Every structure is written in C-alpha cells, then in structure tokens.
Structure 1
C-alpha cells in the first residue's frame, strides 16, 4: 500500500484511519473527508464515461471493406461500447437566474422536442424487432433506448423549470418499420448537423447558461453517435442487398428524402404563420432565437466546425455523415 498522507487519505485514494477513539469533531471531519473522496470518485467516473462516449477506436488492425461483416461488427460495437450510463432522474438541473429562465422557457421547442424523441424511440425499436443479427439488433435497441432517455431528459428539464407541455399524442408503430427507421435516421442527420452549430452558438452567446449547456451536452453528443451509426448502417445495408433489390431500396431512400423536405417546408410555413407544428426538432424552431448575432454564412461555418469536432474521436475507418455537410458547403458559396 502506498504511503498514507497526513489527512488520512492514501495517495492512491484509499482511506486509512487508526484504530483509536475519535472525538465527535474528528468523526465529522472523517465523514466529510469520506464524502469528498466519494464525490471525487463519482466525478472521475462521469469524466471517464464522457470521454469514452466521445473517443472510440476498434482494436482490430487494418482497413475494412464497407458492407462486410467486419464493418457491421465495427459500427455496432461503436454504438454499444460508447454508451454513457447517465441517469436522467438524478441530473442536478442548475438554478437559473430570472433572465436566463425567461429565455429558456420562452423557446417554442419543448413540446416538439419531447414528441420527436418519443416518436424516434418507437420507430427505432420497431425496426430493431425486424432484425435477426443479434449484434445489430442489440445496437438498434440501444439506439432506441437512448432516444427514449432523451425524451426523459427533456421531460425532466421542463419539469425542473416549470414549462407547461401539451398532452402527448400516441406514437403509433409504423406500418413499414424500415421506412420509419430511414425517416428517423435521415431526419437526425439534418437536425443534428444544425443542432451542433446552434448549441455552440448558444454557448458562445450566453443564451444558455454554461451550467445548463454542460448538463445537456451528453444528449447532443449522443445524437452524433446515432447519425454515425446510421450512415454506416445505411452503407452496409445497401451493399449487403442482392443487386436486384438495390434499385427499390434506393427509390425508397429518395422517397424518404422527398418526405423530409416537404415536411420541413411545411414546418417553416407553420412557424411563419404561427401555427402549431407537431413534428419538428430543436433546430427548426430555436434557430431564430439563438443566432441573432450570426450571419447565415457564419452559422453554416459553425455547424461544419462542430460537426467535424464531434466526429473526430471515432475510428477513422467508419464513414462520416457527409450528405448534409456537402449541401451546407454548397450553400455556403452563395451566402455571406
């Protein structure tokens, strides 16, 4: 055992106290020290889980072929092994100053955000039930569980800050589970890319207090893991299909994209007219409030930088979400 420091705490973090009678004051001091050690250990565990969520490399050496069994194993293990086991019920929501509380509660996003996560969880689990491969099914179930946990986090947030929500609707299981999974995955590719930049803008501008930003940060990073998992699944799945099924699958993907584009046009019109919008995500409704000091070009630049940062810690052999960033770079050429 390593040398014991004068305060009774070993240098390796193990406590050692002499077998002698301790005064009430000494007992209180010892209890305080033990509580401090426990708090330090808890913080270290949180930091380690957070680091593991953001940094992952498969131990198998060498290149992998996209669409191969090795590719499937890699992107499934990425999601499973980077899971952060935080519990929404024990999140210590920071006390907000009156002006910060007013900014948070005035955002017209909370009903939509809660419903979006609830709907995503049902869709992902429905698709997981159709998958036979046990490893992939476990990863999809983890994805669906994390979407459900996001809903709980948001519910706890609105409860903590006294935000009233509309009654939640039913979340029906999609008739075509694959369609529901594709719509959820590609929608998250759009929304997460925007959310990365908006979240950074909220941090930089002080719109959200730093304590609240740090509390909500794991949810944003989890969405990054989800879209990384999804785009690798999409590439693996397409290449695993027999050649005669690939055109039908490609057609379905394009139909999903048309659906998502039409949906977002409808969302934008609903926001402009003040109508209630029930199928949007954080970026669509929060952007105006969070980016008043940013030009459109600066916001796109911030989204690109944040997208790169959040993906940088994962195995470089995995595919990155690139469709939305490519479109953003194209649009960036024409906006200031």
Structure 2
C-alpha cells in the first residue's frame, strides 16, 4: 500500500486499476461536479428569466402609450378604444396562489395584524368584484365589455391576495357576508368607481408613508405593490369611462346621470366622514374612513398638510406613466388642494 501512495497521481481510470477498484474515478468526480455546475447555472438562468419577466410585467403595468398619434376627442370611439386598451394591455398576470409572503419578525407581524382594516378590505374587494361584473353584463360593446371583465377579475384577485395575506400571517377575520349583485348595475359601478377614486388617493399616500417609516418590511411592501398600482389603473379607466359615457348620452339623459353621480358622491361622503359605520359579527366597528386618517396607525404621525402633500405627490407619480391624452382623476385631488390651503 505504501507504493500506492508513493505513486504519482493518475487521471486515467483505465490506466489506474486501483482507482477503478475504489469505485470512483477522477473522471466521475469531474462529471459530477460538471453536472452540479450545470444545475446551478440552469437555476441561475431560470431565476434571471423569472426576475426579468416580473420586471417587464411590472413596467408594462405602469407605462402605456397608445401608438396612434394626435389629439383624442373625449367621448369619441378612439377615446373608448384608448382607455379600454390601456386597462387590457397593462394587466399584470401575477397569481395570488403562488405569492411568497415574506417571513415577518415578531414586531412586524404584530404591527401588520393589529391594523383595523383587514375585514373591511376583504369585503370591499368582494363587493367591488360583483358590482363590476354585474355592470359588465349590461355592456354590449365587445372591447369595453372585455375591459370591464378584466377590471372585475382584478378586483376578485385583490380579494384573493388579501385572503392569502391574512391566511399567511394568521389574521382572524369575521365571517364574510354574501355579496349580492346590485339591483341597479350602473349605480353599483358608479359607487365602486368613485369609491376607489377616494380610497386610492389616500391609500397611495398611506402606502408610501408605511414604506418610508418602515412600518411594513420592505419585502412585504414589494410583494403588495402591484395591488396598489392596479387600483391606479382602475380609477384611470373609470374616470375616462365616465367622461366618455356622459358625452355619449342623449342630452335629455345627462341631467339624470349628473343627479345620479351627485347621489353617489353624497352616499360616499356620508360613509367616509364616519356617520356610516359597519359592525362585524363580533360587534367590532369597521371604519370606512381608515384611508383618510390612518397615518397615526401606521406609525408616522404626519400633519394633515404633509399628509395631503404626500398623497398628491404619490397620485401624480402613479399616474405619470400613462398616455397623457387620457383624463386623470381630478375631483379628489382638487378637493385635497383646496383643503390644503386651510391646514398646516
């Protein structure tokens, strides 16, 4: 055996019978190492491809311009095609069932689970989905119908995302109520659209504040970000639909539609100033006004003026990537700018 260890190393298994008797040749080891390297390289490539696909889908969701040049008349067939295609072509195909929710530290988990929003958030998305889908069934234009179906499907997906989140972090929810279709499909669609215009404006600011303050871990912020941007797409689609629809109504129906819109706003303002509060199955009040006054709950007590400034900046940022010829939500930002004059 001393001669075996004294002999120079051989790399040829055929010329080295002792290596063959050992059962593992240098060539076998090299091949195994090469196979492991190949697997690692393939995994790295797959990860890179997946990240690239996610980044491309995320960018496509935030940036869209219609290729047809020139001005667009509000209410025209081109306007309809533009805002419908905006929603359809910026769809992000993420799947809630495969979202990897990040593991949270005990402190972060306590902060997330203590927020008084999860019941009302899940129920809001459930109601929104059925309302949009019900209205879509009344629409005959195939392109607009497809866009509304997409909108309703995304609202349903938001509900699934929220359900998966509360499941992942053990957040208890009250039993969900039924979500019956509205008797007046147009009323349900208007309530959903204008409600999202209000809630999204303040949610943009609250989300940015939670990210800045570290209230939500960065990984959770990144995971939930597509849902927030989708709401921006929804309100952009809605305000353009409302303008298009109003322009195409017969003149004698426009006052009635304006009255219905005024009633919707009155209903939503009544709800959000805290006069209307829902009570869940355990007797816990669910505040529909959380998106307006939730800064203290998120650990960053901004002044009212600073909160309005942040919401305005975030609203502009999230709308900036879409075709400039599309109308932007104006009512809530205009009211916020007016209120800003009187607060510090």
Question: TM-score under structure 2 normalisation?
Answer: 0.88
SS, match of residue 309 in structure 1: helix
Is the contact between residue 113 and residue 282 of structure 1 (CA under 8 Å) also seen in structure 2?
no
Q: Deviations over 1:149-171 (max 9, x none)?
A: 00000001011111111111000
Partner of 2:49: 41
Partner of 1:71: 79
Distance 1:275 1:228 in 2: 36
Residues 313/87 of structure 1: CA separation in 2 closer, same or farther (3 Å cut)? same
Partner of 1:51: 59
Distance 2:324 2:225 in 1: 23
SS, match of residue 250 in structure 2: coil
Partner of 2:230: 222
Partner of 1:253: 261
1:128 pairs with one of 123, 126, 136: 136
**Residue 285 of structure 1: CA displacement?**
6.9
Q: For 1:106-185, what aligned pairs fall within 5 Å after superposition?
A: 106-185=114-193
Stretches of structure 1 that go unaligned for 5 or more consecutive residues are 1-19
Give the structure with higher Rg (CA).
2
Q: Which runs of 4+ in 1 moved over 6 A?
A: 268-271
SS, match of residue 181 in structure 2: coil
SS, match of residue 138 in structure 1: helix
Residues 129/84 of structure 1: CA separation in 2 closer, same or farther (3 Å cut)? same
SS, match of residue 113 in structure 2: helix
Q: For 1:1-336, what aligned pairs fall within 5 Å after superposition?
A: 23-266=31-274, 276-277=284-285, 280=288, 283-284=291-292, 286-290=294-298, 292-336=300-344
Distance 1:282 1:80 in 2: 30
Distance 1:267 1:131 in 2: 34
**Residue 137 of structure 1: CA displacement?**
0.3
Distance 1:236 1:116 in 2: 26
Distance 2:293 2:170 in 1: 20
Distance 1:258 1:290 in 2: 28
Partner of 1:3: none
Residues 78/219 of structure 1: CA separation in 2 closer, same or farther (3 Å cut)? same
Distance 1:266 1:107 in 2: 18
Is the contact between residue 116 and residue 286 of structure 2 (CA under 8 Å) also seen in structure 1?
no
Distance 2:86 2:287 in 1: 29
Is the contact between residue 116 and residue 280 of structure 1 (CA under 8 Å) also seen in structure 2?
no
Is the contact between residue 273 and residue 289 of structure 2 (CA under 8 Å) also seen in structure 1?
no
Is the contact between residue 132 and residue 149 of structure 2 (CA under 8 Å) also seen in structure 1?
yes
Q: Deviations over 1:198-247 (max 9, x none)?
A: 00000111110111001000000000000000000000000000100000
Farther off after superposition, 71-80 or 161-170: 161-170
**Residue 286 of structure 1: CA displacement?**
3.7
**Residue 264 of structure 1: CA displacement?**
1.5
Is the contact between residue 54 and residue 221 of structure 1 (CA under 8 Å) also seen in structure 2?
yes
**Residue 29 of structure 1: CA displacement?**
1.3
Question: TM-score under structure 1 normalisation?
Answer: 0.90
Q: Deviations over 1:300-324 (max 9, x none)?
A: 0000000000000000000000100
SS, match of residue 273 in structure 2: helix
Distance 2:199 2:110 in 1: 25
Distance 2:209 2:157 in 1: 25
Q: RMSD value over aligned CA atoms? A: 1.9
Residues 297/268 of structure 1: CA separation in 2 closer, same or farther (3 Å cut)? farther
Distance 1:289 1:144 in 2: 30
